[in-house]
Structure 1
């Protein structure tokens, strides 16, 4: 085996370890990159670029990994957004539902008061009509009494004048 074949084997092995999540020389949470593969293979900076097929393979895997992780993040973010939106809508519905119940109770109380006031008005109108009739009768009686009083005073004056 030539030196370039050995380097390529070391790079392939390093890539497999990174993809399996069991790297030896780099942290497990490090993102996939050409430099990460070179460090895992214990090679110098730029060693991978001599192997263009391998470099393009790493770039393709990196873009796939990025798109799948970003898609998962987007899905998770969208799911969280929908959950928070649904919770907010539920909270608003409960708020309006309780306000609706309170308003219905208020309407019932106002309707009961309205009926009581209508009954009171009806009674007061009836009483007012009775008082008006009684007032007319008393006015007529007062007029009659005044006329009688005036008549009596005139008679007294005539009697006094005759004497």
Structure 2
């Protein structure tokens, strides 16, 4: 689960795109400025939604098939009743803990090892692709196919 999934990233990105950047440094400055300009009240509501999603995940015993809870955040904020944190009922918390006790830890650890190995292999492949140089013959062939290569270099 990720706070970026709840619109925070899109909002920061929209603010950042309002200012043009001519270098990586300017882009980073724009993103930092956008983060600092993002209203704290909205950020608080976003984190409350994240917490509510985590509670729903506990209710689903780790599943992610649920409707995102809204808590009427705007209405409660206007009334001064907006809670700062989502609450997880004790019985649901205990049920989730009990469920975890029944989980085959070794199988989960093996699945994690497999996933990590796949990620490492993908990372190695990506690094090899990034390190490839494009010679003149390949550039000509790409241009004949209508593919314009991009040049990624720091300024």
Which band: TM-score by shorter chain?
under 0.3
Q: TM-score, normalised by structure 1?
A: 0.22
**Greater helix fraction, Structure 1 or Structure 2:** 1
